[in-house]
Amino acid sequence: MKSKTFILLLALCLVLAVAAYVVVHPDRTSENPERTGEALLSELPMGEVAQIALTGPEASVTLKKGETVWTVENRYGFPADFSKLTDLADKLREMKIGRSFAADEDTLSRLALRPPAAENVPADQQATQIVLADASGKPLAEVLVGKPREAAAGSGGHYVKPADAETVYLVDKDFKILDTDPSAWLRKEILDVPPGDVARVRALTPQGEIMYTLKRPEKGASPEFVNPPEGKQVIPSKVNSAFGVLSGFRIEDVADPAIPADKTGFDQAPTLEYQLFDGAVYRLIPGNEAEGSENNFYFKVEATYQAPSEISAPAEEMTGETPESESSTETDPPAAETADDAAPNSQAEPAEASAEKTAGEDDSTLDPDPRRAEVEKLNQELSAWTYIVPGWKIDRFVTDPEAFFEQPEPPADTD
């Protein structure tokens, strides 16, 4: 081979090698080295942001700032998960530029930075679009989030592109979990009541008749089945389990609040009632299976206040009387510390965050009126919604008294 031909072939190989490297390591080609280390959205007036819209290839969600809380517009204005929203806002505000390069057609497709729902563009080439707007809906920033940086190209980072720019940036933040499903942005924990704060559990028929009652003799004592039928052996673990179902209680989704009762089944469903030592009473109503959602069920929650001294005495339970017809001469233990099921006061706290109590304060000195007001406020927030919860959680709300008793062994087969 002639030396001139060899040199030409060698040069061609070098050109191909450089081109291949640029394709595999696009972030190595920097057109704006002066911006390295700079916050990509440094000029964004984050304090003016009142709406965040996320749109992906298959779904979209809009989050709006209300008078007191952020809400999910696609879910009837239900409160948003504030910690999740804050995490996204922090990433957008703090993300810094590592590399930048031209946004040519091949790069946009390969890094999934095409606009979502673009015509004739495969879903795996489409980005997640984030639009930040002010209260009037005026866009303040728009960013396309594509693929994360591959491990072979370095550690961490994500490829993003401002909608009005012709440059792709590798930033230092991770956007791998960027949900566009509205249900993923809901504040899903609606109750978090420690088992030890529950004084009594009752199951009521749709007509208000008592099916069974479980009760703690006093705060800190083990719960008991009230007046078990003669000859029945109670299963303590089953009774204990009934007192823990409100701890960290989360929903899957919310349904249209306008769904009629004949669809939800609430008017024909039993009620599970949880009386707390501090006077709060939660009434939970499991309904029918949600339409279009396999093994998910409609669910209702209400909250009322009943002075601790008004809790019925054990001897008066299992009478078939409605709660309104009960009377009692026995006084239950005095109200205990304010529990973790109080009304929400801020976005950063769960819906049942408790009011603070002065250390060492005697429970007997608590004025029930403030707690009554808290519960009434909580009821306004809880009872306005039709929740959707999975079937396995519905199964934890026991309505059959027989579930708490040992079942007799089947007769032996003598054949």
The enclosing H or E element of 255 equals strand 253-255
Q: What is the mean pLDDT of residues 329-343?
A: 38
Model confidence at 401: pLDDT above 60: yes
Q: Shortest CA distance to 78 belongs to which of 88, 91, 69?
A: 69
- Only one residue has tokens 């031209």, namely 102
Least confidently predicted of 317-321, 376-380, 409-413: 317-321
Model confidence at 60: pLDDT above 80: yes
Per-residue pLDDT tens for 191-201?
A: 999 999 999 99
Q: What is the mean pLDDT of residues 96-115?
A: 94
Q: Shortest CA distance to 140 belongs to which of 92, 175, 87?
A: 92
Q: What is the mean pLDDT of residues 26-40?
A: 65
What percentage of residues in the chain have a pLDDT greater than 90?
Answer: 68
Per-residue pLDDT tens for 224-266?
A: 999 999 999 999 999 999 999 999 999 999 999 999 989 999 9
Residue 75 contacts residue 63 (beta carbons within 8 Å): no
| Furthest CA-CA distance within the chain | 113
Instruction: Locate the domains of the chain by residue range.
Output: 28-185, 189-404
Model confidence at 333: pLDDT above 80: no
Residue 274 contacts residue 284 (beta carbons within 8 Å): yes
CA distance between the termini of the chain: 97
Per-residue pLDDT tens for 212-224?
A: 999 999 999 999 9
Positions of E strands within 95-226: 97-102, 128-133, 139-148, 158-162, 167-171, 189-191, 198-204, 210-215, 224-225
Model confidence at 118: pLDDT above 90: no
* Cα–Cα distance measured from residue 58 to residue 370, given in angstroms and rounded to the nearest whole number: 47
Average predicted confidence (pLDDT) for the chain: 83
pTM: 0.76
pLDDT at 342: 36
Per-residue pLDDT tens for 122-170?
A: 999 999 999 999 999 999 999 999 999 986 666 789 999 999 899 999 9
369, amino acid identity: D
Q: Shortest CA distance to 201 belongs to which of 249, 237, 244, 234?
A: 244
Positions of E strands within 8-68: 51-55, 60-65
DSSP codes of every residue in 202-227: EEE-TTS-EEEEEE-SSTTSPPEESS
pLDDT at 284: 98
pLDDT at 12: 60
